[in-house]
Structure 1
C-alpha cells in the first residue's frame, strides 16, 4: 500500500525508515494534501506527524476530509497530526498516542502546546515544545527533583514564553529555583532524554505499519 508520511521534526526520516519503509515528506503545510491528491491516485495511507503552524498556513481540515472522502486512511499523532486527528476523528481520521489523547480529553487545546521553531533546510529543532516540557517537569516532580508548586511555576513560565524561545535552560534560569536546584533539574532532564513527541511519532508509524499488515 502506497504510504505518505509527513514528519522530519518529531522523528528523523532515517529513524522513521527503520520502522517502516514509506515515502516521507517534510512537515505538512496548507495545500500539500490538495496537491498530492491532484497529482496522484495511488496513495492509500497518509500519516500526519509534523506540520507548520506559523511559518506558513497550517494544513486545512478540508484537505484531510477530501483525502478521507477518497477512501484514504489518514493517521495522525505527536504534533500537528495529533491536533488535526482530535478535530477530525469523528469524520474518520485516526489518532494515535499520548498527545492525541491529551487533545481529545481537553488536557491541552492549542497548537501552541506542540509548536516548535526549526531550521527549514535541515529540520533541526530550534526550540522545545511546551508539551514535552510539561511531561519532563512532571517526571521531575514524580521523582522528587522539584515540588508541585515548582513544577507549576516552571510550566507557567514556559507557557508565557513565545514558542520559538522556549527551552529547558531558558525556563529553568527564569525560575526562582536556586542555582544548585537549577543545575540538578537540568542534569536530570538531560539524563532522562525523554521526548513525548518522538515517542508518539514512533507510535504513529507503528500504527500505520499494523494497518498495512492487517490489510495485506
Structure 2
C-alpha cells in the first residue's frame, strides 16, 4: 500500500497542501474539526498528522476521538497549531508531538488556544491574520536587531496579546503601538518593515517538522 493511501494530513492554514505535498506524498484534508479523525480512521488511514484545526467557528477535534483511534492502532502525530495543542494534552495517551509550539504547550510556556489561532479564508484555508506565536518571536527578533528596545518589545507583545486573534497583524500592531505612544511614527514604520521582511514563521517551521517526522516513520516500515 502506498504512503498516499495510508497517510493523511490535516493542514491548510500553516502550510498549503501544495507546499506540503512537495515534502510528503500523502492525502491532505482541510484543518481538522470534530468527527474528522474518526472518519479518516474508518477510511483506512494508518498514520494521521494533525497540523491545523478548527478552533472557534466549529467544534474542535475532541480528545476522546483522538485517543480512540490511537487505541485502534493508528499513529497520530501532531505539531504546529491544533496538532501541537492536542499533542501536549495527549502525549501521555500515545499521540506524538513535534516542534517548538508543541514543546511550549507541553512545558507551560504558553497555554491559550489563541496563541496559534488565526482567521482564515474559508475557501482556501489560508491565514488572513498573524498567529501570536509568530508575532511574539518576530518582535523579539526586532528587539535583538535594535529596532525596538526591551520595554517597547514587552509592551507591544502585551498589546498584540490583547488584540483579538482575528485582528492580529503586523500593520495593526505597529500602528496601534504608535497611537498609544509606545513607539514613534518613524519607529513604527521601521518595525512594520522589519516584520514584513523578517517574520519568524514558527508555525510553518513546525508544520514542516511534522511532515518530515511522518516521512521518517514511513521510511522505517
Give 1:173's match in structure 2, choosing from 156, 175, 184: 175
Task: Give the deviation of 1:194 after TM superposition.
Answer: 2.9
| Residue pairs, 1:64-79, within 5 angstroms | 64-79=66-81
The offset of 1:145, in angstroms, is 1.4
Tell whether 2:21 aligns with 1:17. Answer: yes
Partner of 1:194: 200
| Alignment-derived partner of residue 150 in structure 2 | 148
Alpha-carbon distance, 1:101 to partner: 0.6
Separation in 1, partners of 2:126, 2:78: 21
Structure 2 distance, partners of 1:141, 1:209, is: 36
1:129-149 CA deviation, whole Å, 9 max, x = no partner?
111101101111122211111
Match of 1:106 in 2: 108
Cα drift, residue 124 of structure 1? 2.1
Aligned residues: 213
Superposed structure 1 runs of 4+ greater than 4 Å apart: none
Q: Is the 8 A contact 2:119 2:128 kept in 1?
A: yes
Contact preservation (8 Å) 2:8, 2:40: no
CA RMSD in angstroms comes to: 1.0
Q: SS in structure 2 opposite 1:76?
A: strand
SS of the equivalent of 1:43 reads: coil
Distance 1:144 1:59 in 2: 41
* Aligned equivalents of 2:146, 2:218: Cα separation in 1: 43
Q: Contact 2:16 / 2:126 at 8 angstroms: preserved in 1?
A: no
Cα deviation for residue 157 of structure 1 reads 0.7
Pick from 111, 118, 122 the counterpart of residue 116 of structure 1.
118
Counterpart pick for 1:81 among 80, 83, 108: 83
Provide the secondary structure at the position in 1 that maps to 2:220.
Answer: helix
Task: Give the C-alpha shift of residue 153 in structure 1.
Answer: 0.6
Cα distance in 2 for residues equivalent to 1:20 and 1:34: 22
1:34 CA displacement: 2.0
Give the Å deviation of 1:88: 0.3
CA distance in 1, matches of 2:128, 2:78: 23
Structure 1's unaligned 5+ residue stretches are none
> What does residue 184 of structure 1 align with?
190
Match of 2:93 among 80, 91, 94: 91
Partner of 1:212: 218
Match for residue 34 of structure 1 among 38, 58, 78: 38
TM-score, structure 2 as length reference? 0.94
* SS at 2:46 equivalent: strand
